[in-house]
């Protein structure tokens, strides 16, 4: 649906009482266009080694307090088997950003192996940062089909408050990569962080219009959560209270669902961190994707983009039960055994 910038700014400025109507509208649009199924992506955070130095992120290269790890192929295949056993048909492989021949071929080999262990393959989402056109093409050929590359902010000025202004962190290159992904045949996802210092509802309205303009297939966005070992921590006094960041995230999800009725929208882990009911609210008011973390336990805590990341229970069956509870509390059904591709992409 086309919605003007002033209307979006008004919606994003709503208080809790006013937002009820917005939320109901988004919910109805979701049910009509997407249905009542929540799809799973088994999330494997396979390495926290990163060449970038984003000012907000706990795994930035300069953070010497981060313990670096890289999962073995065996570990990753083990996680995928877990996904298989629990009837998740989709995986999301996420890592720090590295550009090298070794990394390119490692991910290519991994995708190939993962596709082979499930009849009909997995729906694989990659989230491995900025890469060359050849790399994107290779990974796509190996069978991965979705790629998530957050723009973080579509306002250049704010982008450079969040990243160093140097050759490794270039706004135009990031945008260019989103276009390369489209060109090389991916379902393309992007997203932003909500509640970063200096961000206003005007910025957020522009982010929504940006996503609509470039016609994304998927979106993952969540609240910014400060991390002590990062430069942005010095601006913590400017932050909205956490409850406000969570509430704004739900409003953003609802607005995006109204703007783009048939895309996939994730209820992210960061949202669950900021509000225990966050993911259920997101699924109630527009989101349709949940990404259970299936990274092996020994590594799960080291992928610390932000602090106080929720600890997943040691027992995976308890974990699945709690996910199902969250999904049903939102009035949805778990979408087992299906990819859950972006309906928008299918129509293109």
Question: What residue ranges bind ligand 5AD (CB under 6 A)?
Answer: 56-57, 150, 152, 193, 222, 224-225, 227, 270, 305-306
Virtual torsion, Cα 81, 335, 347, 285, nearest 10 deg: -130
Beta strands in the chain (DSSP E): 37-40, 42-47, 90-95, 123-127, 146-148, 187-190, 193-194, 218-223, 264-267, 289-290, 333-335
Residue 6 beta carbon to ligand 5AD: minimum distance, rounded to whole angstroms: 27
CB contact at 8 A, 41 and 287: no
Instruction: Pick the closer one to ligand 5AD by CB: 27 or 150.
Output: 150
- CA angle, corner 145, sides to 220 and 80, nearest 5? 85
Residue 27 beta carbon to ligand 5AD: minimum distance, rounded to whole angstroms: 25
Instruction: Pick the closer one to ligand 5AD by CB: 123 or 222.
Output: 222
Residue 23 has a CB neighbour count (10 Å cut-off) of 20
d(CA 137, CA 135): 5
Residue 98 beta carbon to ligand 5AD: minimum distance, rounded to whole angstroms: 14
Instruction: Pick the closer one to ligand 5AD by CB: 142 or 227.
Output: 227
Residue 331 beta carbon to ligand 5AD: minimum distance, rounded to whole angstroms: 27
Among residues 158, 333, 330, the alpha carbon closest in space to that of 250 is found at: 330
Instruction: Pick the closer one to ligand 5AD by CB: 265 or 305.
Output: 305
Instruction: Pick the closer one to ligand 5AD by CB: 66 or 104.
Output: 66
Beta pairing partners, 188 = 147
Cα–chain-centroid distance for residue 211?
14
d(CA 148, CA 60): 18
Residue 224 beta carbon to ligand 5AD: minimum distance, rounded to whole angstroms: 5
Residue 94 beta carbon to ligand 5AD: minimum distance, rounded to whole angstroms: 7
Residue 11 beta carbon to ligand 5AD: minimum distance, rounded to whole angstroms: 22
Residue 306 beta carbon to ligand 5AD: minimum distance, rounded to whole angstroms: 3
Which segments of 117-200 does DSSP mark as H helices, in order? 133-141, 156-162, 171-183
Question: DSSP 3-state assignment of 125?
Answer: strand
Tell the burial category of 343 from Cβ atoms under 10 Å away from its Cβ (0-12, 13-18, 19+): middle
Instruction: Pick the closer one to ligand 5AD by CB: 50 or 84.
Output: 50
Instruction: Pick the closer one to ligand 5AD by CB: 138 or 305.
Output: 305
The Cβ-side half-sphere exposure at 316, using a 13 Å CA radius, reads 13
Instruction: Pick the closer one to ligand 5AD by CB: 195 or 335.
Output: 195
Residue 266 beta carbon to ligand 5AD: minimum distance, rounded to whole angstroms: 11
The helix or strand, by DSSP H or E, that contains position 75, with its residue range, turns out to be: helix 73-85
Report the residue closest to ligand 5AD, judged by CB.
306
Instruction: Pick the closer one to ligand 5AD by CB: 75 or 229.
Output: 229
């Amino acid at each position: 649906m086309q919605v003007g910038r002033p209307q979006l700014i008004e919606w994003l400025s709503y208080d809790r009482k006013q937002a009820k109507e917005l939320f109901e509208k988004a919910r109805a649009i979701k049910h009509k266009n997407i249905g009542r199924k929540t799809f799973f992506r088994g999330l494997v955070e396979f390495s926290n080694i990163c060449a970038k130095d984003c000012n907000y992120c706990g795994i930035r290269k300069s953070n010497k307090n981060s313990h670096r790890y890289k999962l073995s192929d065996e570990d990753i295949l083990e996680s995928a088997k877990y996904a298989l056993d629990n009837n998740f048909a989709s995986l999301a492989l996420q890592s720090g950003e590295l550009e090298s021949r070794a990394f390119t071929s490692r991910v290519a080999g991994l995708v190939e192996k993962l596709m082979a262990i499930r009849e009909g393959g997995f729906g694989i989402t990659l989230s491995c940062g900025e890469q060359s056109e050849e790399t994107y093409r290779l990974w796509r050929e190996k069978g991965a089909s979705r790629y998530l590359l957050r723009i973080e902010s579509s306002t250049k000025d704010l982008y450079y408050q969040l990243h160093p202004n140097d050759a490794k962190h270039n706004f135009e290159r990031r945008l260019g990569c989103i276009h390369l992904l489209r060109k090389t045949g991916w379902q393309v996802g992007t997203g932003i962080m909500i509640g970063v210092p200096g961000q206003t509802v005007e910025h957020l309205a522009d982010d929504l219009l940006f996503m609509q303009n470039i016609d994304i297939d998927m979106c993952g966005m969540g609240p910014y959560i400060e991390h002590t070992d990062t430069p942005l921590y010095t601006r913590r006094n400017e932050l909205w209270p956490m409850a406000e960041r969570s509430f704004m995230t739900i409003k953003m999800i609802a607005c995006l669902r109204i703007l783009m009725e048939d895309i996939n929208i994730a209820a992210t882990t960061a949202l669950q961190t900021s509000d225990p009911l966050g993911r259920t609210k997101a699924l109630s008011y527009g989101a349709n994707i949940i990404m259970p973390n299936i990274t092996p336990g020994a590594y799960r805590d080291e992928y610390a983009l932000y602090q106080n990341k929720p600890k997943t229970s040691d027992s995976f069956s308890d974990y699945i039960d709690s996910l199902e509870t969250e999904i049903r509390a939102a009035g949805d059904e778990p979408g087992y055994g299906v990819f859950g591709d972006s309906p928008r992409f299918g129509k293109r």
